[in-house]
Amino acid sequence: MTDSLKPPALLEQRLGLPIDPVLLEQALTHRSFSYENGHCPTNERLEFLGDSVLGVVVTSTLYHAHPDLPEGQLAKFRSHVVSAKALAAVGRELELGDFLRLGKGEEATGGRDKSSILADAMEAVLGAVYLDHDLDTVGELIHRLFDKLIEASAGLGAGLDWKTSLQELTAEHSLGVPAYLVDEEGPEHDKSFTARVHVGEQDYPAGQGRSKKIAEQIAAEHAYRSIRKEFGSAKAEPEETAKPKPGAREPKDGKDVRGLKDAVDAAAPVKDAEGA
């Protein structure tokens, strides 16, 4: 072990459970280290497995937390939780970079704080936990690490994308594609934007903001609410998806994901092979 690395036992302490030392070492081994040290096993296979495990748990949780949302909206929420940005953020909270085995070149270029490396390593750690324990155990770990992201996912960009929601609503009622007109005023350093949206022959209240994007989103919200009031819709609007239904959170015992275990097992390498 490189002198500057923190001991894996400290990471186990932060995760709250022991992990097979061979699997954990592999989960923390970047390919750059392998290239410089006799091509020892890297974390790429464990990363592949961890990605699948994370997807299963997050998908099941969102499915049960939002029983009325359509597939497309659930997919948007999931994409935020399992994104490289989110994974890297969780890795930084754990100070995962301090445990990584990197090649000298990667080390010299700040690899310990690269989002892509942290995200991959985080998935690899989840894969190692799954192999050493089971789906229930890794599910509990994922909830501890990711529940805040899961709960907040409905309040992120996809959940507040009024332009997308408006387009879906107008398509649902065959009203045509929304068209936006944006005016700007003020000096270059202090511009304000006014956006108007037209759907068919109908105009809707304008939206104003400090950027074109914000103005269009506000205008889209005005149009969305007007159209929904007139026609109705079975689909939830963005703000209504911002909070999971009370008591809808997936049980921590992982029973809701147990039925998907076979799918994960099919992608799982044999533990002995991983440690080879």
Q: Are residues 83 and 208 in the same domain?
A: no
pLDDT in tens, 44-63: 999 999 999 999 999 999 89
Position 243 confidence tier, pLDDT thresholds 50, 70, 90: very low
pLDDT in tens, 141-152: 999 999 888 877
Q: Is the pLDDT score of 267 beyond 80?
A: no
- Structure confidence at residue 231 (pLDDT): 79
Q: Are residues 57 and 127 in the same domain?
A: yes
- Structure confidence at residue 194 (pLDDT): 94
- Structure confidence at residue 41 (pLDDT): 94
pLDDT in tens, 62-96: 898 888 777 877 888 888 889 888 999 999 999 99
Q: Is the pLDDT score of 127 beyond 90?
A: yes
Is 120 annotated as belonging to a binding site?
yes
Catalytic residues: 51, 123
Q: Are residues 138 and 83 in the same domain?
A: yes
Q: Are residues 268 and 221 in the same domain?
A: no
Q: What is the 3-state secondary structure (H, E, C) of the chain?
A: CCCCCCCHHHHHHHHCCCCCHHHHHHHCECHHHHHHCCCCCCCHHHHHHHHHHHHHHHHHHHHHHCCCCCHHHHHHHHHHHCCHHHHHHHHHHCCHHHHCECCHHHHHCCHHHCHHHHHHHHHHHHHHHHHHCCHHHHHHHHHHHHHHHHHHHHHCHHHHCHHHHHHHHHHHCCCCCCEEEEEEECCHHHCEEEEEEEECCEECCCEEECCHHHHHHHHHHHHHHHHHHHHCCCCCCHHHHCCCCCCCCCCCCCHHHHCCHHHHHHHCCCHHHHCC
- Structure confidence at residue 142 (pLDDT): 96
- Structure confidence at residue 113 (pLDDT): 92
Domain at 248, CATH number: 1.10.1520.10
Show the domain range for 178.
Answer: 174-232
Q: Are residues 120 and 256 in the same domain?
A: yes
* Tally of structural domains, the chain: 2
- Structure confidence at residue 3 (pLDDT): 53
What mean pLDDT is predicted for residues 257-273?
44
Is 71 annotated as belonging to a binding site?
no
- Is residue 217, in this structure, part of any structural domain at all? yes
Position 209 confidence tier, pLDDT thresholds 50, 70, 90: confident
Q: pTM to 2 decimals?
A: 0.60
The whole-chain average pLDDT of the chain stands at: 81
- Structure confidence at residue 238 (pLDDT): 52
